[in-house]
Amino acid sequence: MVDFAAPPARPDAGQSTDFTYVIRPRSGATPAGLFQIPVQTGGVLPSLATVATTGNYADLINKPAILTPPTLASVATTGNYTDLSHIPALAPVALSGNYADLLNKPASGNVTVGTTAGTVAAGNDSRIVGAAQTSSLATVATSGSYNDLTNKPATSAPPGVTIRTVTAAGPVTVQASDAGGFLVINKTVGEPTVVNLLDGVRVTIKDGKGDAATNPITLTPPANGAIDGQPTKVMDSAYDALGVLSYGGGKFGLY
C-alpha cells in the first residue's frame, strides 16, 4: 500500500501548472523506497476576462451596436385624423353634408302654388281639366260619416222587433212598446243621455250616433233598483250596444 501526496494548491494566473506526485510506502519506508511521477497539465493558466467573474453584459468588449427605436408620429398613438400631416383640404360640405355649403348651386326659381293665374296648380284647381273641386263634393266625401249619406235605405227589423230612434234632447225613458226591441240613441245635437229603464221590459240600448265616448249613455234603474248589482251602467264606447234583461222588482241584468 502507498500514499499519494496531494498536488500543490491551484497556482495563480500566469504561473506554471506542472506538479509532481510522490509515491511512498505507508510506514517504515526508507528513502530508497520513494519514487516520483511528474505530471504536466499543459503549461501556464490563462488570464480571465473581467466578465468571466462578473457575468455583466457591460463588461463585454466588441458588443454589437443596438439600434435606437424611431420616434413615432403623434397619430401613431392618438389615431386622430387631425394629427396626420399633409391632410388634404376638404370643402365645408364634406364635413357638414349641408346643401347650403355647396358652391355653384343651381338657381331655384320662385314658384308660387295656387289656383289663380301666374301660380302653379296643385290639387283643387279649376284649371286642371277633370279636377275634383272641394265645393262640389258631398259632405260625406270629407266626413266619412254614414249619417251624411243621402237616400239611406230604411232600416228594418225582424218581424215582431221594434226599433225606436231618439233624436230629441233630454233624458230617455224606456216604454212598454220597446219590449224585445231596440232603443237607438242618435240625437241631432250630441249630449250625455240618461236612459231610465222600465221594470218588466227587456230592451237593447244602442249608441246610434257613435259619440258615446264623448257623450256617454247612462242606464238608470227605477228607485232602489240595480243593474247587475250596480246603481247604474255607463256606456262610453262609440257605437256601443247593451242588452238589458228585467228580473222584476227593479232588478236588471246585462247581456
Residue 241 pLDDT exceeds 70: yes
Stretch among 24-33, 70-79, 107-116, 140-149 having the lowest mean pLDDT = 24-33
Query: What are the grid coordinates assigned to 97, written together?
Result: 353634408
The Cα–Cα gap between 82 and 175 comes to: 88
195: exposed, middle or buried (Cβ count in 10 Å: 0-12, 13-18, 19+): buried
Place of cell 349641408: 98
The reported pLDDT for the residue numbered 1 is 46
Average pLDDT, the chain: 80
Q: Which H or E run contains 140?
A: helix 139-143
Phi, psi of 91 (to 5 degrees): -70, 150
**Biggest CA pair distance of the chain:** 167
What are the structural domain ranges in the chain? 163-254
Residue 85 pLDDT exceeds 70: yes
The Cα–Cα gap between 125 and 111 comes to: 16
Residue 17 pLDDT exceeds 50: yes
Q: How many CB atoms lie within 10 A of CB 36?
A: 11
The reported pLDDT for the residue numbered 70 is 80
| SS3 (DSSP) at 43 | coil
The Cα–Cα gap between 239 and 206 comes to: 7
- Whether the Cβ atoms of residue 218 and residue 234 lie closer than 8 Å to each other: yes
Q: What is the CATH number of domain 163-254?
A: 2.60.120
The Cα–Cα gap between 203 and 219 comes to: 12
Using pLDDT thresholds of 50, 70 and 90, give the confidence band for residue 139.
confident
Q: Mean pLDDT throughout 59-79?
A: 85
What confidence tens digit (pLDDT) does each residue in 154-203 have?
666 566 688 999 999 999 999 999 999 999 999 999 999 999 999 999 99
pTM for the model stands at 0.41
Place of cell 386622430: 80
What confidence tens digit (pLDDT) does each residue in 40-55 have?
555 555 688 888 888 8
Dihedral of CA 117/118/122/128: which sign?
Answer: positive
- Alpha-carbon distances of 23 from 8, 35, 74, 214, rounded to whole Å: 15, 6, 81, 135
